[in-house]
């Protein structure tokens, strides 16, 4: 066996111990599945190694490739784990190899991929593409069968589409989306297509990936982009219901769409994403038309990013200066509308209601307001901070479930 460029090697005794331990972890012989993508199966094997043997593969690492291998390197242990995914006369195709650190510097075959895992045949596919006229990369999580609805999710400022795909439970890891990493049982059980566009950035702030929501600018017309994306989803997948949700600056973009393009989606959800304060001005009001669509606000009450602690009923909230300084040239206005103030305006526009703070229903750490037969709803998760994970922790329910329940109602 030749020496691999990426330094494969193993001490036989330790490798055989590793094989025995790994084999013992499996309850029965595993047969190779058919019609499974080789790369996805290799990723599944690498994930399995990390979950079962953290002493060798101690952290989630990116997938790397050097013919014929797909592999990961773990600098903490100095160990490599790889699968020969392409034909090569010196290696066994779909063979598993370990090397490095305590294992030495010569490649050692430790068995076929199918000796350790049953490659999972997915229940759908992740499709990545753009739409005409826009450069945003978009991940579509499309389950098999006949999904009845789709949800578009917008990430926060400086975020990525795979960040929010992971946070919402569509992707099992915080890595770029693949069919192998998708959470198909959950996606299919909810009969939902998840759509995750990547926000853009201006040249002067290349890391400020965001949306043109009046608070920040992405350098493009994101109202037009989301209108085009909505039309694409409806035409391509034939869903009967299409909603949009966003976190932070993604939520601020959702707010803009509710005010300026209310007919584009069937429901709107903002997570810790206040609207631009321009909608508090009589000269530039929020105008969702004569039949405003359903809206759900999921907000933290101790948010250090939008600085609303103790200011729930304030007219405006100020984004933390350090947050703004990180991408200053992408900011248009860092003073945002207080969500309670926007909620009162929404309820008035939707059904003439006049919400009062004291009307909120308290359950644990969550205060809930619901008006207009539940078509406009607001949750204040009082102890939570800005991240989605914090809101989930204190709310006691996954945000995706709260969103799906709301969308299902209309």
Residues 6+ apart with CB under 8 A from 235: none
Q: Are 268 and 289 in contact (CB under 8 A)?
A: no
Are 164 and 133 within one domain? yes
Q: Which of 44-53, 290-299, 346-355 has the lowest mean pLDDT?
A: 44-53
Residue ranges of alpha helices (H) inside 168-313 are: 184-189, 222-237, 249-260
pLDDT digits (tens, 9 = 90+) for 66-75: 888 889 999 9
Backbone φ and ψ of 222, nearest 5°: -80, -20
User: From residue 67, how far is each of 64, 91, 111 by CA, in Å?
Assistant: 10, 11, 19
Residue 336 binned pLDDT confidence (cut-offs 50, 70, 90): very high
Domain containing 88: what range? 12-116
Residues 6+ apart with CB under 8 A from 341: 280, 313, 314, 315, 316
Q: What is the pTM of this model?
A: 0.74
Are 226 and 290 within one domain? yes
Examine the fold and report which residue of 116, 137, 163 is the final residue of a domain before the chain moves on. Answer: 116
User: From residue 254, how far is each of 138, 155, 289, 337 by CA, in Å?
Assistant: 17, 11, 16, 14
Q: Count of domains in the chain?
A: 2
Mean pLDDT over each residue of the chain, to the nearest integer: 89
Ranges assigned E (strand) in 302-393: 316-318, 335-337, 361-363, 366-371, 376-381
Are 300 and 332 within one domain? yes
Backbone φ and ψ of 266, nearest 5°: -90, -20
Q: Which of 203, 192, 277, 200 has its CA nearest to residue 243?
A: 192
Examine the fold and report which residue of 116, 134, 161 is the final residue of a domain before the chain moves on. Answer: 116
Question: Considering the domain boundaries, does residue 61 fall inside one?
Answer: yes
Residue 118 binned pLDDT confidence (cut-offs 50, 70, 90): confident
Are 91 and 152 within one domain? no
Are 75 and 137 within one domain? no
Question: Considering the domain boundaries, does residue 67 fall inside one?
Answer: yes
Are 362 and 399 within one domain? yes
Q: How far is CA 207 from the centre of its chain?
A: 18
Question: Considering the domain boundaries, does residue 17 fall inside one?
Answer: yes
Residue 122 binned pLDDT confidence (cut-offs 50, 70, 90): low
């Amino acid at each position: 066996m030749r020496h691999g460029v990426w330094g494969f090697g193993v001490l036989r005794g330790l490798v055989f111990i590793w094989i025995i331990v790994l084999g013992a972890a499996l309850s029965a012989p595993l047969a190779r599945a058919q019609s499974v993508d080789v790369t996805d199966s290799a990723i599944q094997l690498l994930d399995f190694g990390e979950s079962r043997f953290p002493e060798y593969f101690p952290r989630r690492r990116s997938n790397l490739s050097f013919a014929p291998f797909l592999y990961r390197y773990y600098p903490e242990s100095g160990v490599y784990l790889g699968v020969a995914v392409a034909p090569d006369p010196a290696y066994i195709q779909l063979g598993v190899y370990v090397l490095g650190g305590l294992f030495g510097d010569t490649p050692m075959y430790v068995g076929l991929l199918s000796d350790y895992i049953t490659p999972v045949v997915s229940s759908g596919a992740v499709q990545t593409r753009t739409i005409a006229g826009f450069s945003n990369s978009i991940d579509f999580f499309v389950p098999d069968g006949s999904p009845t609805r789709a949800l578009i999710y917008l990430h926060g400022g400086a975020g990525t589409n795979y960040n929010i795909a992971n946070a919402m439970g569509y992707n099992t890891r915080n890595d770029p989306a693949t069919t192998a990493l998708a959470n198909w049982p959950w996606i299919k059980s909810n009969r939902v297509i998840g759509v995750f566009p990547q926000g853009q950035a201006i040249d002067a702030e290349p890391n400020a990936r965001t949306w043109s929501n009046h608070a920040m600018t992405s350098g493009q017309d994101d109202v037009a982009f989301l209108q085009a994306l909505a039309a694409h989803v409806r035409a391509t997948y034939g869903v009967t219901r299409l909603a949009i949700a966003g976190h932070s600056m993604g939520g601020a973009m959702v707010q803009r769409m509710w005010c300026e393009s209310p007919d584009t989606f069937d429901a709107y959800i903002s997570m810790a994403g206040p609207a631009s304060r321009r909608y508090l001005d009589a000269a530039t009001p929020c105008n969702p038309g004569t039949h405003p669509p359903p809206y759900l606000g999921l907000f933290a009450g101790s948010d250090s990013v939008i600085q609303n602690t103790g200011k729930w009923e304030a007219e405006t909230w100020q984004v933390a200066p350090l947050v703004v300084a990180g991408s200053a040239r992408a900011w248009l206005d860092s003073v945002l509308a207080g969500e309670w103030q926007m909620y009162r305006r929404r309820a008035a526009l939707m059904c003439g209601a006049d919400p009062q703070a004291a009307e909120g229903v308290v359950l644990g750490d969550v205060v809930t307001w619901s008006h207009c037969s539940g078509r406009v709803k607001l949750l204040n998760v009082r102890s939570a901070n800005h991240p989605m994970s914090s809101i989930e922790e204190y709310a006691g329910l996954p945000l995706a479930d709260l969103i799906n329940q709301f969308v299902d109602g209309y």
